[in-house]
Structure formats: C-alpha cells, structure tokens
C-alpha cells in the first residue's frame, strides 16, 4: 500500500521522456487507475478529461474553429499545467485552517474558529456545492464592538503554479475589505501576492505584491492594468507595495457580482508572476475544459517581471488566504472619500449593512507546471533500463491487485 505512490512516481519520471508512446494499454489503465489517487495524474497519458471542472462554466464561450484546433496550441508553448489541488464543494474547507486571532490589519472583526463559523452559518457549502464565507449580517452591535467574520488559510503551501479562482459572488460594501491572496509563512519574507482585493464601493480589482526590500515592479510584457506603485518593499510607503489596478470597472464590487462573477487567475513561473481576470461570459474555453493555456489568454492585468524581482527569491512557500475584514488600515482610511455614509465605525454597528459581504466560490484549482510538452518537442527520452524497471514495478502492483 505504501509502495504505490513511490512506484507511480518512478513510472511518472520514466514517462516524462516517453510522451509520444505509452508502453502498453494495460499499463496505461493502471496509471489512470492509481495516479489520480496520489496526485500524479497527467492528461497527456489519458483520453479522459483532466478534471471534471463542472463549476467553471462559460455558456457564451466561442467554440474553436477547425483551423484553431488544427493549429495545436500545445505546439506554441513548452508549458503544460497539471492539477495539484481542487478546493470545491463539500470538501472545500477540509484543507483550510480557520484563523481566529486579532486582525493584523486592524479591522473591526472577530475571526471565528471553524466550529463557531460553521455553527453560526458564516462558513458553509450550499446544496449545489458552492462554498460560502460571510460576515455576520444579522446582529446589530453597540459602537466599538467588532463584527464576526471569517478568514481561512490553506494547510498546503505552494512555490510556483497556476491558481484559478471561479467566484460567483465576492464581498463588497461600505466598510468592507475582502481579499484572496497568497503569502509566505514569515511575512514579508517569502512575499505576498494579492490576487483579488478592494475596499468600500470600489469597482476595480487591485493586484498587489509585497516583499522584502529590493523588489521592483517592471513589466515583462504589455499589460492592461495601471501601475500605481513600483517598490514592493513592505517596509516603505506604508506597505502599499507594487499595486496594479484592473482596467475593468466590473472587476470588483456590485458590478462584478451583477455579471455572475468570473475567473481570477495567477501564474507564477520563470517568467515572473502574472494575473488575469475573465468575466463569466469571456472565460477562455481551455479553462472551461480543464486544460489552461495562459499563453493564449492575451495580455495579463499585471506581470511582475523577473529582471526587477526574481520570483523564486522574493516569493516562496505560499499558503492561500481568503478573508473579509471591516474598516482597518485600508477600508478605514479610505472610508471618508468613498461616498459611504457616516463613519466606518458606525457602519459596523448595523448587520444589514453587510448583506453583500460574502464569498460564494465555485472552485479554486491549483496547477503545477509540467515539462512533458517540452520533453516531447526536444526529443528527449528516458533510458530504456529506467522504463523497464518501472514497468516491472507496476507489474508487481498488478499481480498484487
């Protein structure tokens, strides 16, 4: 039992150079049977879909033409992406830890542990498999009392990868400050990447990078977003970081939710760190089909280029965080010019003010980079003895089953 993952890993390594021809149909069946259970499944070795990404839907997606299909997008790139983790449905919260300490950003919230959050309905999964996280929107509070909310952190950490958030509804409103971000364990060592963030009645999502000193934002490619900061150093400029504003006025807030949400993507690899946003009606078909190909997505909202900030030096071992805070360092300081009534402190008092302060998440999927396509293109092959040894090991599994 404990030998299966190692066996399949050896087989996986052997197959890295044998993309064009799987050694046998029976071994292919064994691979497809066991590999998904240990996280090694790769679509290049199966005619089955990578993952049933039923939550990522695009009813208005334009189908590929024959010419586009024949062009072979895989031939245009050396990258392929393999699913590592899927956070979705009933198991969404299984690999998240609930943060229940005071808010580091000085928000007026009480973050609840998992038991309390679930029992009070602030964290739940709907009958149609949507994960919900929300602020208490029922209780009226005296001035100065903090409101119950939710903040979760993934148990797993990632260095590099492709992260796809399919969100149907994201928090917004006066005094509300939501974020989806990834962060190292010893901030700012290891860095921080804010994928989705905004405050109050804003309409534009903001992507932001926070790091140790000497990380500078330079564009690796053309981008659609507006740069509002180029020094990512968390110790200067009140930790404003390297901020980039999405040009879409429906990438945050009420307008985003009115359009049914969409997909936020972040890619972290040798080319730097890039982010995209797609409205529900414009999600690329390759995302919908579970075979994401960022090279075909057009210009990103933001791309932190490696020549100004090495993505492997300033960013490492990131956990994924969802949170909803109220007021605090950003929403509180921006409240006076936000067009919201009264003060942020008085806004927190009434529960009905926060009926829109909720996440409704269809899925969050994390991919890792694979070099299978590059290996095939370059004609590299695994040594025959390595392949033979792996076949023997898998045959042992077959005999034991």
Active-site positions read 192, 197
238-274: buried (b, 16+ CB within 10 Å) or exposed (e) per residue? ebbbbbbbbebebbbbeebbeeebbbbbbbbbebbbb
Is omega for the bond preceding 234 within 30 degrees of 0, making it cis? no
Q: What are phi and psi of 230, to 5 degrees?
A: -120, -5
Q: Which residue in the block uniquely carries the two structure tokens 């969050």?
A: 364
Of residues 233, 243, 228, 152, the one with CA closest to residue 188 = 233
- CA–CA distance, 173 with 254 (Å, rounded to integer): 8
> Could you count the other beta carbons within 10 Å of the beta carbon of residue 220?
17
By C-alpha distance, which of 315, 305, 308, 317 is closest to 212? 315
Alpha-carbon gap, residue 32 to 17, rounded angstroms: 18
161: left (phi over 0), alpha (psi -120 to 50) or beta: left
Specify whether the CB–CB gap between 394 and 27 falls below 8 A.
yes
- Cβ atoms within 10 Å of 318's Cβ, excluding its own: 24
């Amino acid at each position: 039992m404990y030998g299966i993952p190692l066996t399949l890993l050896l087989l996986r390594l052997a197959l890295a150079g044998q993309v064009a021809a799987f050694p046998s149909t029976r071994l292919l069946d064994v691979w497809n049977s066991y590999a998904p259970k240990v996280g090694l499944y790769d679509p290049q070795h199966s005619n089955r879909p990578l993952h049933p990404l039923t939550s990522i839907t695009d009813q208005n997606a334009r189908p590929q033409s024959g010419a586009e299909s024949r062009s072979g997008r895989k031939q245009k790139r050396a990258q392929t992406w393999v699913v590592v983790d899927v956070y979705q449905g009933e198991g969404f919260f299984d690999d998240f830890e609930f943060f229940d300490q005071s808010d580091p950003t000085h928000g007026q919230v009480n973050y609840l542990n998992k038991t309390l959050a679930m029992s009070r309905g602030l964290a739940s999964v709907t009958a149609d498999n949507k994960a919900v996280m929300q602020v208490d929107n029922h209780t009226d509070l005296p001035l100065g009392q903090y409101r119950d909310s939710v903040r979760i952190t993934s148990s797993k950490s990632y260095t590099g990868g492709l992260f796809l958030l399919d969100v149907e509804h994201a928090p917004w409103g006066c005094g509300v400050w939501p974020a989806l971000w990834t962060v190292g364990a010893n901030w700012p060592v290891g860095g921080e990447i804010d994928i989705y963030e905004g405050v109050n009645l804003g309409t534009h999502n903001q992507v932001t990078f926070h790091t140790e000193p000497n990380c500078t934002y330079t564009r690796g490619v053309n981008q659609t977003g507006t740069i509002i900061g180029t020094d990512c150093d968390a110790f200067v400029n009140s930790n404003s970081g390297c901020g980039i504003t999405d040009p879409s006025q429906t990438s945050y807030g009420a307008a985003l939710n009115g359009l049914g949400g969409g997909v936020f993507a972040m890619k972290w690899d040798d080319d730097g760190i890039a982010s995209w946003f797609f409205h529900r009606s414009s999600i690329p078909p390759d995302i919908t089909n579970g075979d994401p190909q960022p090279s075909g997505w057009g210009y990103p909202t933001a791309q932190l280029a490696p020549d100004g900030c090495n993505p492997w030096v300033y960013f490492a071992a990131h956990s994924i965080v969802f949170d909803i805070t109220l007021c605090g360092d950003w929403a509180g300081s921006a409240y006076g010019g936000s067009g919201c009534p009264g003060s942020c402190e008085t806004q927190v008092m009434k529960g009905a003010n926060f009926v829109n302060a909720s996440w409704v998440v269809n899925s969050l999927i994390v991919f890792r980079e694979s070099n299978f396509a590059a290996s095939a293109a370059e004609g590299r092959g695994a040594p025959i003895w390595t392949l033979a040894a792996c076949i023997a090991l898998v045959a042992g599994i077959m005999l034991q089953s």
